[in-house]
């Protein structure tokens, strides 16, 4: 365990050595599961990138742990897709992580539709806090971030020191484009959220997700009309 790369013993030189020759997404996933074993989890939003990563992870570790942050506000299509994936990949450990605070309690304490009046607080209560709790017993987590999704993600590396959750964050798909994602899905006949075919490249909670107005910005439909661009999971 002393040689395991963790947040506490992060070593830039060691990370550089790991990546000093060409690596691809599958190399990174194999390295991640060989090194962390059951001390790594994939936090999946069940968007298109998630379908690709679930399929790739299943090829590497058929019993991998996958979590979904169930805010209670997702589209019906998202929940239907989760059921479909559970049937398609029965060996994977897929858990829905719910916030400690219910929607009724949230309304009682903070007022109706907190996602409108204070979206940052809503995301903190329903996403950030639950993920922090879910990551307590692991050393690393996997994310489907891609560099071309937004300017704030353009410098994401395969292996990252996650200052937000004090863990190692693995991002195997950083070099993939949206076209790459959808091509993989179609070539491998993978299920995916039908909202992607209705102008929703990025799908989050239903109240805060709209069809994109600008096809060049895949996340422009998230918190449309507000300055907010991230839910807080990928901010330091």
Whether 122 sits among the annotated catalytic residues: the reply is: no
The structural domains of the chain, ordered by start, are: 17-197 (3.40.50.620)
> From first to last of its 236 residues, what are the pLDDT tens digits of the chain?
457 899 999 998 888 888 877 579 999 999 999 999 999 999 999 999 999 999 999 999 999 999 999 999 999 999 999 999 999 999 999 999 999 999 999 999 999 999 999 999 999 999 999 999 999 999 999 999 998 877 777 788 999 999 999 999 999 999 999 999 999 999 999 999 999 999 888 899 999 888 886 655 555 555 555 655 555 576 64
Task: State residue 216's pLDDT score.
Answer: 56
Q: Which of 171, 205, 208, 231 is catalytic?
A: 231
Task: State residue 16's pLDDT score.
Answer: 86
Q: What would the 3-class secondary structure string for the chain be?
A: CCCCCCCCCCCHHHHHHHCCCCCCHHHHHHHHHHHHCCCEEEECCCCHHHHHHHHHHHHHCCCCEEEEECCCCECHHHHHHHHHHHHHCCCCEEEEECCCCCHHHHHHHHCCCHHHHCHHHHHHHHHHHHHHHHCCCCCEEECCCCHHHCHHHCCCCCEEEECCCCEEEECCCCCCCHHHHHHHHHHCCCCCCHHHHHCCCCCCEHHHECCCCCCCCCCCCECCCCCCCCCCCCCC
């Amino acid at each position: 365990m002393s040689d395991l790369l963790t947040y506490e013993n992060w070593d830039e030189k060691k990370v550089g050595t790991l990546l000093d020759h060409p690596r691809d997404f599958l190399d990174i996933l194999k390295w991640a599961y060989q090194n962390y074993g059951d001390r790594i989890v994939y936090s999946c939003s069940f968007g298109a990138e998630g379908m690709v990563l679930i399929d790739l992870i299943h090829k590497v570790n058929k019993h991998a742990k996958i979590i979904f942050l169930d805010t209670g506000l997702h589209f019906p299509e998202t929940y239907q897709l989760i059921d479909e994936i559970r049937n398609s990949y029965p060996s994977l450990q897929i858990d829905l992580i719910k916030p400690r605070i219910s929607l009724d309690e949230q309304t009682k304490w903070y007022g109706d539709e907190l996602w409108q009046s204070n979206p940052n607080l809503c995301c903190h209560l329903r996403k950030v806090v639950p993920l922090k709790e879910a990551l307590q017993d692991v050393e690393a987590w996997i994310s489907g971030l891609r560099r071309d999704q937004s300017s704030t993600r353009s410098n994401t590396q395969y292996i990252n020191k996650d200052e937000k959750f004090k863990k190692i964050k693995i991002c195997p798909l950083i070099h993939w484009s949206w076209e790459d994602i959808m091509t993989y899905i179609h070539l491998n006949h993978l299920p995916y959220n039908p909202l992607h075919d209705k102008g929703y490249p990025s799908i989050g909670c239903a109240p805060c997700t709209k069809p994109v107005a600008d096809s060049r910005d895949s996340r422009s439909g998230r918190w449309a009309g507000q300055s907010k661009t991230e839910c807080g999971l990928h901010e330091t």
